[in-house]
A and B are shown apart, each in its own frame.
Chain A
């Protein structure tokens, strides 16, 4: 009976589970210095002039969020600490939704202003058209370009509307407050309150929302193309980082690019690093831990970061996810891989013993 319950698979799975849990709870500390493939990106941000702008496309989904989100957090944190503005975008619906959470949380923590210090362009699909569009001088492009779901409303512009129709004041105020808090939902709020606002006011506001162009955002004013960006980066759980290399190839001299990938897909990215099509590869947890450790040691300790998040009013679970998110996962990662190595060793010993017996 015990043999039926404790099969090899059950034992292996239990060992893996225990090692993951031990990694979380044991006080093992793995601190890693910057490796050569990561340090170029870090030094680029460190040496940047305050006020320069970086673009980060966030393309991880739930499947790889554990490994890639710490990269995004560590990078954006370093950018904000060095007063580098950040433009965020997502090439797919799921990452675009996740990106909003990361940028708005860190923006609020560091007291950054949406539209001025950071901007979420939302879903930028098709991504190839998006990258090609940024390479060219987008100001020469005709028509208004939607910047995702984010909108820019100045409450003062609507004073006349409020005077003529007092009932809309609270709705307009709530939309304006939403914008002020860096939420991209003003357009949706508007739709929700369509009946309340009445058709005329609704259409006027909607018209205003739809005519928003890139030039309406202060952060985008000085940017004409890749040459004006400090760097472009893709943080991804897939091979989407290659899209940047393919579609920005005409602008290779202008663009400074690097990628944050999962550890499993990192080896594939090294060929672009070696060909100098990228300046850095940030490989999964390890890369995130390296940057996180560096930022904690050089600029702001984890305790200070935690306090700043508490002051910004974030709940404990959000703070726990952001503070030390990378280095906290490393012990589990190390223990599970050590287990796998031991299992391979045991498997091979068994194999050789069996072969000896058979001989």
Chain B
């Protein structure tokens, strides 16, 4: 029963929504608009289970109910809990400029996330040195266009001869070759999503219900 009701709802609503999308009447269009207005509002409630899952997951590590407990995991969980509740309580009190929440946001959260992201530079430099080998025709081609886009995107072309032509060629390539490849990927993803949605509507794909359904 627990599984049949969601499956039934998904089937009925999925079919109705598909039909409504392809039937062009004023009431069907109204119904689609109503559904599209409701869907985002419902999705907002996902924050409730998401918070619960995060706290429960880190709570297990903190209370050593984890399958493979370690001190590092416990420390990480402790830091997560302290950070979460400090931000929550201070934010509920006030998030105005000059408040504790605002101070922590500007002086801890922003610098920490910026630092984490900037570390990528070092990884990318190291990975490029180790992994980028011009050993075959297609990797050579990749290298040529990577250099072209890199040089123009960083302004290096302003210091090299015929830099303006490099720039124009880079823009042309981004608008043609790049777009063709991106669209091919996008079409592939769209067809895949369509297939997955059909499987979900007809109850073939049930992993969305969780628990290895």
Contact = CB atoms under 8 A, between A and B. Distances in A.
Interface of A: 8-9, 12-13, 15-16, 20, 30-32, 35-37, 61-66, 94, 97-98, 100, 125-129, 132, 149, 183-185, 188-189, 191-192, 263, 266-268, 270-271, 273-274, 283-286, 289, 330, 333-334, 336-341, 343-344, 346-348, 351
B44, B94, B117, B155: most-surrounded residue (chain A CB, <10 A)? B155
A16 B123 CA distance: 10
Contact of A273 (B113, B154, B175): B175
Interface in B163-198: 167, 171, 174-175, 178-179, 182-183, 186
Contacts of B129: 8, 12, 343-344, 346-347
Contact of A32 (B102, B121, B155): B155
Contacts of A338: 154, 156
Contacts, number: 150
Closest 10 A/B residue pairs (Cβ): A62-B113, A185-B96, A126-B40, A63-B117, A62-B110, A30-B155, A343-B129, A128-B40, A129-B40, A334-B154
B147 interface: yes
Given A31-B158, A126-B40, A343-B128, 10 more contacts: A12-B126, A32-B155, A64-B117, A127-B40, A286-B152, A286-B155, A334-B155, A338-B156, A348-B133, A351-B135
Contacts of B36: 128, 132
Contacts of A12: 122, 125-126, 129
Given A65-B114, A94-B109, A273-B175, A333 B154 contact: yes
Contact of A270 (B151, B152, B167, B182): B182
15 contacts: A13-B126, A20-B121, A37-B174, A63-B114, A63-B116, A66-B118, A97-B95, A100-B97, A128-B39, A128-B40, A132-B33, A132-B40, A192-B94, A283-B153, A336-B125
B125 A30 contact: no
B176 to A, nearest CB: 8
A112 B192 CA distance: 49
B126 A334 contact: no
B96 A32 contact: no
Contacts of B156: 334, 337-338
A251 to B, nearest CB: 13
A13 B133 contact: no
A188 B153 CA distance: 44
A160 B128 CA distance: 70
B164 to A, nearest CB: 8
B114 A66 contact: yes
Contact of B182 (A9, A100, A268): A268
Contacts of A32: 155, 158
Nearest to B133: A351
A62 B109 contact: yes
B153 A339 contact: no
A280 to B, nearest CB: 12
A15 B37 CA distance: 52
B114 A270 contact: no
Contact of A333 (B37, B94, B155): B155
A184 to B, nearest CB: 8
A330 B151 CA distance: 12
B112 interface: yes
Given A63-B114, A341-B150, A188 B37 contact: no
A188 to B, nearest CB: 4
B8 interface: no
A135 B178 CA distance: 31
B30 to A, nearest CB: 12
